[in-house]
Amino acid sequence: MSWRIQTSLALVAVGTGFTMWCLIKTTALSMTAFFSLGVPLYGLAALVYIWEILLDLRRHRVL
Amino acid sequence: MSGRLKIALFFVIMVVPGLLSLVTTQLAFSRASSVEFCGSCHTMTPWFQNVTDPESDSLAAEHFKRRWIQHEQCFTCHSNYSFLGPMEAKIKGVRHVAAFYLGFRGRIELYDEFPNDQCLQCHAEAKGFLEDSNHDPIEDIMSGKDRCVDCHENLHAIEQDDNGPIGFAAGGDAAGGDAGSADDAAGDDADPAGDPPSGGDGDDGDTE
């Protein structure tokens, strides 16, 4: 498993932590953490994963 | 990497977070409309205490304790009724949290004057409102030329400290003033007809 996949999984894990905290507490602080940290972490994880997919496609000469 | 692992990773990294974000956003937005949520922010404690205080005669407290607004009392009066109104309110809320943690000091004030539309959403069709001679000419109220809060002044009985931490009362339970107006006036006294602060019919449980 490449470092990109591992990074994506780590980002998803941390983002899910913020999301769960928001779901359980639903306070102003937890909501702010979710929207300002959780969602961007998910987005970053998706970008890193897409990077890995593109490299994989290039490796197989699809791109 | 096997094909099966790729599919599993796609679900774990793309699909599950996407669905979780959608569900959390929806739940957070619906829960964030409650009065308890507004009160969960320490900055809002004075306003929360005033609204939920059965002894208070402020306009907000009257609406709360008489259940003129059944649910989500803060959100009902303080969010725009337009399509994106609730979203705008939430974005402003996030800005307020950031301002608090960045150490902003000063008075909490509304961005704009409190619009008549917020009151008229409920009162516009109410018989007591329409027939009250104090509201003549009623077209001026409907158009926003005459502002509801110019007469119904005691919105929240909160006194703020200009230089203190945002939102915390300077002390005492002083009447007068509100988040949008520094005027001080006693709510019922400000109403020439002696009506309850809503300007409506005044009966308990009357939701117009």
Least confident range from B17-21, B98-102, B128-132: namely B98-102
Taking the C-alpha atoms of residue A33 and residue B28, their distance in angstroms, rounded to an integer, is 12
Q: Could you tell me which of B67, B59, B73, B72 has the C-alpha nearest to residue B29? A: B72
Cβ contact, residue pair B18, A19, below 8 Å: no
- In degrees and rounded to multiples of 5, residue B37 shows phi and psi of -65, -45
CA angle B187, B189, B190 (to 5 degrees): 65
For residue B208, the model assigns a pLDDT of 34
Which of B27, B40, B97 is opposite residue A32, by nearest beta carbon? Answer: B97
Whether chain B has a CB inside 8 Å of the CB on A16: the answer is yes
User: Residue B114 carries which DSSP code?
Assistant: P
Q: Please check whether residue B64 is in contact with residue B205, taking contact to mean a CB–CB distance below 8 angstroms.
A: no
Q: A15-19, B77-81, B197-201: which has the highest mean pLDDT?
A: A15-19
Query: Hey, is B64 helix, strand or coil?
Result: helix
Region A34-49: mean pLDDT is: 92
Residues of A in contact with B14 (CB under 8 A): 46, 49
List residues bridging with B105 in a β-sheet: B165
Taking the C-alpha atoms of residue B117 and residue B115, their distance in angstroms, rounded to an integer, is 5
Cβ contact, residue pair A49, B13, below 8 Å: yes
Whether chain B has a CB inside 8 Å of the CB on A39: the answer is yes
Whether chain A has a CB inside 8 Å of the CB on B21: the answer is yes
Tokens of A16: 């899910």
CA B64 to chain centre: 11
Which of B9, B27, B28 is opposite residue A5, by nearest beta carbon? Answer: B9
Tokens of A31: 């909501």
Cα torsion through B143, B146, B152, B153, rounded to 10: 120
Whether chain B has a CB inside 8 Å of the CB on A15: the answer is yes
Percent of chain B with pLDDT over 70: 75
**pLDDT exceeds cutoff 70 at B159:** yes
Question: What are the angstrom distances between the C-alpha of B28 and each of A16, A26, B39?
Answer: 15, 6, 15
User: Residue B135 carries which DSSP code?
Assistant: G
Higher-confidence residue of B81 and B207: namely: B81
**pLDDT exceeds cutoff 50 at B193:** no
Q: Please check whether residue B159 is in contact with residue B171, taking contact to mean a CB–CB distance below 8 angstroms.
A: yes
- In degrees and rounded to multiples of 5, residue B202 shows phi and psi of 95, -5
Which of B1, B24, B41 is opposite residue A23, by nearest beta carbon? Answer: B24
**Residue entry with tokens 């507004």:** B38
Q: Could you tell me which of B45, B75, B71, B73 has the C-alpha nearest to residue B59? A: B73
